[in-house]
Amino acid sequence: MKKILILLLSLLGMNACMNAQGNNFTDMDVEHFAQYITNGDVQLVDVRTPEEYAEGHIEGARNIDVFDDDFLEEAQKSLDKSRPVAVYCRSGKRSADAARKLSANGFQVTNLEGGILAWKENREKN
């Protein structure tokens, strides 16, 4: 029983450390994300490469490539910290990385689970 309690406390401590390091963002499924970005205050960011962005993106999204060395500098220059930011990529992995970086730098961030692949799949169904 003591080992289980120690394990649980360790996991809670790790979670608190992760949040303290700026991993404080929200993941959202496609349906909720689609509703969320209709709020005129949300800044929509596609964090894929410019080539991927050119192949198709969510309407109204600006492109800031998370792989660029100046990703944070560009985000801080072009985004308003007082407004929420919604990010997406191809599958959700790069955008989760971008969300961590942005939230650690004072942005309120929401990440699209499954990325644009999930977005397109959902749109094809509806």
Is 30 domain-assigned? yes
CB of 20 closer than 8 Å to CB of 102: no
Residue 93: CA count within 13 A, CB half-sphere? 2
Q: Choosing from 75, 89, 98, 116, which is the catalytic residue?
A: 89
Structure tokens given for 106: 């004072």
If pLDDT is split at 50, 70 and 90, which confidence band does 78 have? very high
Strand partners, 63: 46
Is 116 domain-assigned? yes
Residue 57 domain boundaries: 24-125
Model-level pTM?
0.81
pLDDT digits (tens, 9 = 90+) for 5-27: 343 333 344 444 444 444 699 99
Catalytic status, residue 17? no
Look at residue 74 and give its three-state secondary structure: helix
92: domain CATH number is 3.40.250.10
Cα–Cα distance between 58 and 40 in angstroms, integer? 15
Closest CA to 113 of 36, 40, 18: 36
